[in-house]
Structure 1
Amino acid sequence: MTADVIAFPRGGREGTAAPRHRGEVRRPRRSTADRVVSGLLTVALLVGAVAFLALGVGPRVLGYRTATMLTGSMTGTIDPGDVIVSVPKPADEVAVGDILTFHAPVPDQHVETHRVIKVRHTADGHTIIRTQGDANAEPDPWTATIQGDTVWETVHVIPGIGTVIRALRAPVVRDVVLWVALGALVVLGSSLIWRRGEQEIDPEPAPEALDDAALGRLAEDLEDADFAATFAARYQELLPQRLNRISTALGSEARTPDLGAALDASLSLKVSSTTVGARELEQLASVIELSVRRRDLEAARALADDLAQAARRADRALATYLEQRAS
């Protein structure tokens, strides 16, 4: 891509017809199957993100806990495979009917989630509870003394998700998920590359290098033919600078692009080219502007490479116009 100021030849009456050049990039239409797959992938990603935030980030940030129900002792309220969400509750506020998660006062001290059926507060400040599973016919065979100032009370139940989590933790499933994920990444990457290669360029009829009628209209609107000629000469003089601004703003492998400057430069070239009737440059600048807005630097840089030749044709046409007017 040309980055230096371009010097154009002055004068001469070489032909001004421009060859066909690339117009706006036209991307292939997506099939129904592509849209369905894309939608399913989007939903899967959203579900995965929500699950990660709720089960992985939330407990560390918001202070709640999650656990998977493994037994059927609370069936009907909490089924096996359901995930429970628990929050801290002051021990002295525990009441009959609360569902608490606690270490059972037995040798293995396993974690239990049962409903409180009886509460007693002792004179020395301890809270003693009796519990029972909703699906059990009898109360638990122990009396539990709450240790500490808080307990964990179940406030929400997420049906079934725990079964999925437990299944994903199985070694075989982990291996399958890993390879499927790697395969999906390869397929997705290949698809993106293939689609990029499939992008089509619409050849458009080449606009004339200079529409003399535009300068004629400018002279009529201002009622000053000399000003129109002066404007055309000034445009001709500033054209290399305008091209250089676009080239520099778009950057290269060695330079970071400045999208704001690229947008301003392409707009400046488009507007000024429209005023003098440099249709080819106006069209190229318009497509570069659109590419910059889409952040498609590859397309913008490719089109910027065409500016130099288009500018030379416009420069020769302007020189011819000014010579004819002066004669």
Structure 2
Amino acid sequence: MKQLRDILVRLANVLFTLVLVGCLLSFGLLAVGPHVFGYRTATMLTGSMEPGITPGDVVVSVPRPAQDVKVGDVISYHIPVEDHRVETHRVIEVINNEDGTIAVRTQGDANAEPDPWTATLEGDTVWEMQAVVPWIGNGIRALRTPFVQDNVFWAAIGLALMLGLSMIWSRNEDEEELMPTPAPARLPVSVPAATEASHASYVAALTTLAEDLDPDYAVFYAGQWREMLPSRLERVSAAVDTRDFDAAMDSVLSLKVSSASVGASDLSDAAAFIEAAVRERSWETADSLVAMLPQVAERSQQELVSCLAA
């Protein structure tokens, strides 16, 4: 199952990356580029310029003075007949009219005969081909087909779902890696006795608070912790009794962090054991640990008072 999930995640990421890169490149070439760099793009629809330009290629043209056009140039211009569409063909003759205008005759490289018209260039500039980008035009034309337009919404929804699932699975894997694995053999079976090391932890924590903040605030904070300890214990007990996972995690983490901040290492460790049991939904183990909390808390308060008095 995990192997299949990994394959789907990779597939979704690859598809999303390819679509994103393709969209960005197409948008930059067709929408942004002409405004920034002053070129024009046109999709070749026929094979009249093969093999140099094939159907579906995008022709990139830049403006140049009309008077500089010469035989051999490939230009894009409006034909003077029918629908006046834009045609991209090679110049085979340049005609300087008496009125100062310039006309051209053109022919497709793949055509046996010249185009059956003479086109007068409009304005002072002509658009000359500078580059050909293959295949992009095919994608644009495909997007305009009824089938794609009718189904693109569902395709986008499917891609979004695949991306969303890949993100959820990746996040779950990260959480599993970060989640501590409980060690039942290490769970305490009795309340440990007070030691010099536990007393030293209070001194170190309160000294840190005094140095980082203020000595008076360290004493005030320790007093606040003592006042709030009973309510914290009640929250842990109630959450474990009702098997409320979210409430249990919230209350036990609050107890663990606040106890560590004043140096109550035994109480903080006990909270950590409860946290591990709750994560594994081992509620019976959590019940046993919660039952020992009042004793640990009572001794922790006594040690804190002793430390403050010293």
TM-score (norm: length of structure 2): 0.60
d(CA) in 2 for partners of 1:126, 1:189? 60
Contact 2:16 2:159 in 1 (8 A): no
d(CA) in 2 for partners of 1:210, 1:161? 75
1:105 to 80, 105, 112: 80
After superposition, the Cα gap between the structure-2 partners of 1:232 and 1:178, relative to the gap in structure 1 and judged at 3 Å, is closer
Contact 2:64 2:127 in 1 (8 A): yes
Post-superposition CA distance 1:194-248 (Å, at most 9, x none)? 5445522124779x999949x79xxxxxxxxxxxx7x76532546898xx9xxxx
After superposition, the Cα gap between the structure-2 partners of 1:31 and 1:88, relative to the gap in structure 1 and judged at 3 Å, is same
Which segment is superposed worse, 32-41 or 56-65?
32-41
Give, in angstroms, the shift of residue 184 of structure 1.
2.1
Contact 2:205 2:261 in 1 (8 A): no
Does 1:95 find its partner at 2:73? no
Post-superposition CA distance 1:117-160 (Å, at most 9, x none)? 11133454321211111111111122221110111111111222
Within 5 Å, give how 1:249-260 maps onto structure 2. Answer: none
Q: Report percent identity of matched pairs.
A: 47
1:84 to 50, 59, 82: 59
After superposition, the Cα gap between the structure-2 partners of 1:148 and 1:197, relative to the gap in structure 1 and judged at 3 Å, is same
Other-structure match for 1:202: 180
Which segment is superposed worse, 63-72 or 311-320?
311-320
Q: Which amino acid aligns with 2:9?
A: D
Please give the secondary structure, in 1, of the residue aligned with 2:84.
Answer: coil
After superposition, the Cα gap between the structure-2 partners of 1:147 and 1:37, relative to the gap in structure 1 and judged at 3 Å, is same
Other-structure match for 1:54: 29
Other-structure match for 1:251: none
1:63 to 38, 42, 58: 38
1:158 to 133, 150, 154: 133
Other-structure match for 1:26: none
Q: Which amino acid aligns with 1:59?
A: P
Other-structure match for 2:257: 307
Please give the secondary structure, in 2, of the residue aligned with 1:156.
Answer: strand
d(CA) in 1 for partners of 2:48, 2:182? 74
Q: Which has the higher contact order (CA 8 A, sep 6+)?
A: 1
TM-score (norm: length of structure 1): 0.57
Q: Give ranges in structure 2 of 5+ residues lacking alignment.
A: 187-191, 218-251, 268-298
Larger radius of gyration: 2
Contact 1:210 1:317 in 2 (8 A): no
Please give the secondary structure, in 1, of the residue aligned with 2:180.
Answer: strand
Within 5 Å, give how 1:143-182 maps onto structure 2. Answer: 143-182=118-157
